[in-house]
Copies of this chain bind each other. A is one copy, B any other.
Amino acid sequence: MHNGRVLTIGQFSQFTHLSVRTLRRYHDAGLLEPAQVDETSGYRYYTADQIPTAQVIHRLRELDVPIVDVRQILRSPDPAVRGELVADHLRRLEAQLDRTRAAVASLHRLLQPERAQLDVEVRHVPAVTVAAVEGEVGSDDVLDWYAGAMAELDAVVSSPAGSPGGLYDNSLFETGRGHLLVYRATENPPSVGRVHPVTLPPVDLAVATHVGEHDDIDVTYGELGAWVVNNALAVDGPVRETYLVGPRDTSTSTAWRTEIGWPVFNVTP
């Protein structure tokens, strides 16, 4: 170990606590270019002033920031922009943390030996013409799409009747994309922007009510599914959700009430 101003990859590795392998990968990925690369031997040489950069990379990777995003952060010359990108990721981390908390809570509920029986009711829903917004949405974008569509509906529908609702294509969870429709019932549905009148077909629905946030709504889906299997023949067709009490109505998310309606026929009581 013996030279003054320039470090071999092994020396640099000792100063940064990044493995030689990882440093090579970061070079290949364009994250951390060695200060100098010997053309004939391919040896990578680093300088001491690259150590802070390596450490920033180390921290970002510890926070599971994808390598491409790390590259973007490092390459933005403006520190303000860089700070904003980092802040973005920290917000993402927060959101992830919320989801983790919700999953822990849901897991506890699932593991409780005795759980309350789900009330399921079969209800005939006649055809109705509503103001709706439709779209093909990837499962990652559902929440954003939903918020935008509902805002547009609210802006256009002046005197809504009943609670807002949505129709969910079953393929959403399978292919990652699916047809979504959100609606508000109203007289004389307008046709403005994405909002247009849609006639929902009549169905028989097996309806259960999910209480609380939607993080563990799949549990209610599962319980409703079990009921449907044992009491009816399910039919293909989008699931209908109705937002009896949602974020627009209350600030306490434990008070949310969401009706889930699964299309069924031939109920065997």
Q: Which residues of A contact B (CB under 8 A)?
A: 1-5, 7, 10-11, 13-20, 47-49, 51-52, 54-56, 58-60, 62-63, 79, 82-83, 86, 90, 93, 97, 99-100, 103-104, 106-107, 110-111, 113, 170, 173-174, 216, 218-219, 221-223, 225-226, 229-230, 233-236, 268
User: Could you write out 7 A-B pairs with CB less than 8 Å apart?
Assistant: A5-B229, A11-B234, A15-B225, A49-B226, A51-B226, A59-B107, A93-B100
B229–A7 touching, CB < 8 Å: yes
A221–B107 touching, CB < 8 Å: no
* Cβ-closest 10 pairs across A and B: A15-B225, A48-B226, A48-B229, A51-B222, A59-B107, A62-B103, A17-B218, A17-B173, A1-B236, A14-B170
A111–B83 touching, CB < 8 Å: yes
- Of B58, B99, B222, the residue contacting A52 (CB under 8 A) is B222
A221–B48 touching, CB < 8 Å: no
- Chain B residues contacting A234 (CB-CB under 8 Å) are 1, 11
* Chain B: minimal CB distance from A106 (Å): 6
- Chain B residues contacting A18 (CB-CB under 8 Å) are 173
How far, in angstroms, from A52 to B222 measured CA to CA in the complex?
Answer: 7
- Chain B residues contacting A2 (CB-CB under 8 Å) are 233
- Of B14, B59, B233, the residue contacting A106 (CB under 8 A) is B59
A173–B14 touching, CB < 8 Å: yes
